[in-house]
Structure 1
């Protein structure tokens, strides 16, 4: 092979090599998709598919399910009922922002007479109350959180069990900033620790160090003596 032929062959080889490298770079740039928490694959350092590790959503294996301590309906007046689910979140660093629930009320024949669906949030490592009816847990999106719930203290007086029972109390915002909304649920127990009545109220825009009055009332007196009052607060995110 002559020198000119050899040089031509070398030039073609180098050109093909450059084209091959360029194609590889092109394909790498345009076809490679970096791993994410929404690619339906277990990659990165994920514990499961798109959950755990660097992903904000936790896997089911990392979650202790909420404990429903009890649920019960309460008759307020003729054909008027309220109900409450008393629940504990045992997870010390995990909350849920969109827990779906289904409230079902049954008659004496075990027939469903009322069904209400909604969504609520589950605070970190705390007992909380879902107010309305039977609670059936769905599949909320759980996420890690380092946020600390604002410090709200609550005080209440005695129950005036006359023709229209009434309890007065106060909320104190002991956090360093204004709280937009606070939910307060009250539970009244008899001497056997059985819940006899419940109610709920919301308080908006409570400034730091502000004290706000709250009032709960019922339309008629209780037949069973009330021996214990419990008030539970949640700061609505």
Structure 2
């Protein structure tokens, strides 16, 4: 009997010992797993997890909205009207096609200090024959024109299309349009007796220089139908400087005069319909 009691007591003691040992093993195991988990977590956040961006479709990094505000572009940009081309055409200069398009920014508080455009040119069967790309800028509420020369025969073109991409919007108080003025505009037949010349003086009305000033000029009929386009540019216009410019149009364009026949007026330019658009770059 005494032996039986002693045996049971030994078993109980052993069980208690083994139980404590098991508990220690469990505690150690949990501790090791916790440390391993923390190490893996650190590795994930430091080396594996992708950094937040302005294009991850998440509201993070102190953004005011999803992918806008904070370090990203202003949320207002998401509601802006896209750039529009309300008019495009191609003209013949020495039988080669010259492309032009009107671009309208209807946003009154935002301009674009850079955008990309692409002209797609199609032949008369509808097949694309060439693509011409470029970059430009546009100020708030501005209407401007772009101009591209080509080596394509004018008669080979059936249609042109234009598209825009990569528009970099800036609020207008950070992207102000330079003040410029044209004075003493003169439209006359070229010195050779052929073609048309449009000249005048450009005035830089700003206390800073303009590194480049581009001019795009249009000639139109008395019915305001554009019949020709040309361009020129000046470099390094100093602050408050006034400088002479001249835009030369093709030799096959004439001007309406008081003695001109009304039957010919559709191929002649009306001096009073001449338009000049300026792109001034700081």
TM-score per shorter chain, which class? 0.7 to 0.9
> Alpha carbon RMSD of aligned pairs, Å?
3.5
- Aligned residue number for residue 143 of structure 1: 169
Higher helix share: 2
Q: TM-score, normalised by structure 2?
A: 0.66
The structure-2 alpha-carbon separation of the partners of 1:19 and 1:91, relative to structure 1 and needing over 3 Å to count, comes to same
Unaligned runs of 5+ in 1: none
The structure-2 alpha-carbon separation of the partners of 1:27 and 1:73, relative to structure 1 and needing over 3 Å to count, comes to closer
Equivalent of residue 85 in structure 1, options 101, 107, 115: 101
Give distance in 1, aligned partners of 2:250 and 2:36: 84
Give distance in 1, aligned partners of 2:41 and 2:84: 54
Written as runs of structure 1 = structure 2, the 5 A alignment for 1:1-237 is: 16=31, 19=35, 23=39, 26=42, 30=46, 35-38=52-55, 40-44=56-60, 45=63, 47=65, 50=67, 52-54=68-70, 55-56=72-73, 61-77=78-94, 79-92=95-108, 93-95=110-112, 97-104=114-121, 106=123, 109-110=124-125, 115-125=130-140, 126-132=142-148, 134-145=160-171, 146-161=174-189, 162-220=193-251, 221-222=253-254, 223-226=267-270, 227-236=272-281
Contact 2:186 / 2:200 at 8 angstroms: preserved in 1? no
Give distance in 1, aligned partners of 2:134 and 2:74: 18
1:100 shift after superposition? 2.5
**Partner secondary structure for residue 198 of structure 1:** strand
Q: How many corresponding residue pairs? A: 227
Contact 1:58 / 1:144 at 8 angstroms: preserved in 2? no
Give distance in 1, aligned partners of 2:240 and 2:146: 27
- Deviations, residues 65-98 of structure 1 (Å, cap 9, x unaligned): 2222211222222x22323112211122131513
Q: TM-score, normalised by structure 1?
A: 0.76
Unaligned runs of 5+ in 2: 1-15, 150-159, 255-266
Write out the 4+ residue segments of structure 1 that deviate beyond 6 Å after TM superposition.
57-60
